[in-house]
């Protein structure tokens, strides 16, 4: 689905969940379509594990983000039209197996 586009990313931004902010990597994505979408983001930590984030019903022009506390800059995302039951997002184990180190 072409609706979701990366708008920016940053290193070292504030993240309440991360003890050392200088290693934090965050990616920002935006819904550029006229319909709401569901989104799953996976952001890789330097140890090779992914942090995953799932967002339901992201409205047109809304943004979402995912982060890794000790990120390496690698990320993936999946999107589908809200309510589309014919497509399933990969689960966390599949993401780690198929995209991890």
pLDDT along the chain (101 residues), means of 10: 91 83 92 96 96 97 96 96 93 93 72
Angle at 97 between CA 75 and CA 46, to 5 degrees: 45
Q: Which residues pair with 50 in a beta bridge?
A: 44
pLDDT score recorded for residue 22: 81
Structure tokens at 44: 């890789």
Query: b/e per residue, 66-94, with b = 16+ CB within 10 A?
Result: bbbbebeebbbbbbbeeeeeeeebbeeee
Domain 4-84 top-level CATH class: mainly beta
pLDDT score recorded for residue 1: 64
**Block residue for tokens 């990366």:** 6
pLDDT score recorded for residue 100: 83
């Amino acid at each position: 689905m072409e609706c979701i586009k990366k708008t920016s990313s940053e290193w070292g931004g504030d993240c309440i969940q991360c003890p050392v902010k200088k290693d934090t990597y965050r990616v920002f994505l935006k819904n550029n379509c006229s319909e709401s979408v569901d989104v799953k983001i996976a952001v890789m930590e330097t140890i090779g594990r992914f942090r995953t984030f799932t967002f339901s019903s992201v409205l047109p022009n809304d943004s979402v983000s995912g982060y890794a506390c000790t990120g390496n800059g690698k990320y993936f995302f999946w999107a589908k039209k809200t309510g589309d039951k014919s497509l399933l997002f990969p689960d966390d184990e599949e993401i780690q197996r198929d995209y991890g180190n």
